[in-house]
Amino acid sequence: MCGIAGWLDFDQLTNVEPIVASMTETLACRGPDGEGVWTSPHATLGQRRLAVIDAEHGTQPMTVETTAGPVVIVYSGETYNFAELRRQLAAAGHRFRSRSDTEVVLRAYLEWGTSAVKRLNGMFAFAIWDGREDKLVLARDRMGIKPLFLHKRANGVLFGSEPKAILAHPSVTATVDLDGFRELFSMVKSPRQSIWLGIREVEPGTMMIVNRDGVREISYWRLTTESPQLDLTETIEQVTGLLQDVVTSQLVGDVPLGTLLSGGLDSSTLTALAAAELARQGGQLRSFCVDFAGQSQDFRPDALRPEPDTPFAHQVADHVGSHHTDIVLTPETLADPKVRELVVRAYDLPMGHGDMDASMFLLFQAMREHAVAALSGESADELFGGYHQFFSAKARAGTSFPWLADPHLPQYAALSPRQPSVFHPEFHHALALPDYVRDSYGSAVSAVERAPGESDLEWTMRKITYFYLTRFVRILLDRQDRLSMAVGLEVRVPYCDHRLVSAVYNAPWTMKFHDGREKSLLRSAAAPLLPHAVTKRKKSPYPSTQNPAYTDLLKIQARDLLADRQHPVFDLVDRAALKQAIHSSSPDSFGRFVLERSLELAVWFELYAPSVKV
């Protein structure tokens, strides 16, 4: 896992290496184990390395000199089928200097050209400068697990794993206009859109080819509709086999590896499979769960979280024999302004997830003391149908994205016209978020393919699943990538394997709901692996602290913010809304959201001093 950055300009580049080195340095947390910059007259590539495979010989940028010019790669991620590809390439005459998957990807490009990306199974973002043709090839994995951003210039491009790398270039101004704010606050994850003016996101499953003629986008994979060919028993067997293969392949590496274990169905299934495979290899899996000080006393069940995670995580760890660690967090740590700053800096923006972002960052930070890579159950709910919106009449009505049509978290409910706004009235009016969401939803619907003869119910459920897999899951993958890589932890996502995604997406909804519950296919595949209490457990979202001391600490910090009458955050945030949240004796979830959102936005202004165009 690494961070990459670069500058391509078809005018003559001079004194460019220090600039690209500064761009790359912003990604130091992503790659604490090494750095490098490669320079040529028109292209300069930089990389920060987190060494996971072949630490000694896998250094980057990696170059192959040909008679027609150099071919150079900077690469972030993991290609899980690299050993198979290496054998094919060796048979074709290629000779390798390392055991790294980076060299395999570079050699694959030399052998198969841009079509090589179709052969890769993994999570990746890479840039290849092909000096034989004076072109830059940028590529991103199919599901968007690894990030990649692009800024077009008159005679070339800048690129980076995160916007901060591009913003470090002296010609780029940190500017956010209304569309950027709309993207930030709407939670719709529009294709290619970033919040920063002039910086776009490379779409998952695409390549960008940059040469003297300009920039060309090529899609090499997208989520497509196929008619199902298997019955229920065969589909369960297919899912079971794919999960076993995916988890086994994602245990590759020369570094300590663990799993995120909440005690829910998704993470427990991966933990059971990984523990069994490592046991066969003579090792023991480490597992980790986040918990909160006083949770046993403070926990209050509700419709979303009927029980705490920790007892189930312990049950699974005992069942599969993992070496388990609870990461216990206090209200003081969760509300620490220094932690908030690290989270906002990791994102390059204020996401508004409050304590859930802080706890995830702190969980990853603690895990990094014991592991360099980890498996996560992210995207199983989107793939197998785990959210309550899959069963909601409001969400099935098809008037908006399901997580907005029937929201369960305050940052989504805040978009409702019936909900008071955190924003200054003039800014709120200018945003016109309902219009932005409506237009984005219309665009998303037009991208879904209906299967021949598909019933209305199956068509409705296909659309909901498509939106979750192509929009919502990308928000979660971005979150997980930024917060884990901010501490140099590589998080792998088995449920995002494109073979598994395609197979389950095209399984009929009647199979995904065959036992009358959410995630039926996954539950059936996992049943032989897990305790009965875990396979029957109801879906529970990522945990959030219920300790009132956390909100009290936010109020103290918000009072200080409110006293600063010149703070630029109040060009966006409504003072009255913040004041009401501060003085409420017992703020509801929206009141706490106002506190968290205001404080995060304030930190963002202080860190980035963005030029705001509204």
- Give catalytic residue positions: 2
| Helix, strand and coil in the chain, % to nearest 5 | 45, 20, 35
CB 443 within 8 A of CB 401: no
Helices 456-467 & 433-446, crossing angle to 10 degrees? 120
The closest alpha carbon to 137, from 120, 153, 162, 116, belongs to 116
CA angle 208, 61, 220 (to 5 degrees): 25
CB 194 within 8 A of CB 179: no
Which residue stretches of 92-187 are H helix?
101-112, 163-167, 178-186
Give the bridge partners for 215, in sequence order: 210
Q: How far is CA 469 from CA 224, 299, 418, 466, in A?
A: 12, 31, 28, 5
CB 381 within 8 A of CB 403: no
Q: Which residues contact 535 (CB under 8 A, 6 or more apart)?
A: 265, 523, 526, 527
Torsions phi, psi for 135 (to 5 deg): -140, 150
Tokens representing residue 154 in the block: 């008159």
Q: Which residues contact 7 (CB under 8 A, 6 or more apart)?
A: 13, 16, 19, 20, 23, 43, 44, 156, 157, 158, 169
- Helix/strand/coil (H, E, C) string of 467-526? HHHHHHHHHHHHHHHHHHHCCCCEEECHHHCHHHHHHHHCCCHHHHCCCCCCCHHHHHHH
Question: Looking at this protein, which amino acid is placed at residue 518?
Answer: E
- Whole-angstrom distance, CA of residue 209 vs CA of residue 201: 14
For residue 214, the surrounding DSSP H or E stretch is strand 214-219
Cα diameter, the chain:
74
- Whole-angstrom distance, CA of residue 328 vs CA of residue 576: 35
Tokens representing residue 475 in the block: 């928000």
Chain position carrying tokens 């945003």: 431
How long is the chain? 614
For residue 607, the surrounding DSSP H or E stretch is helix 589-608
Q: How far is CA 463 from CA 146, 188, 225, 279, 442, in A?
A: 25, 15, 11, 40, 12
Q: Which residues contact 536 (CB under 8 A, 6 or more apart)?
A: none
- Whole-angstrom distance, CA of residue 561 vs CA of residue 602: 8
Task: Identify the three-state secondary structure at position 203.
Answer: coil
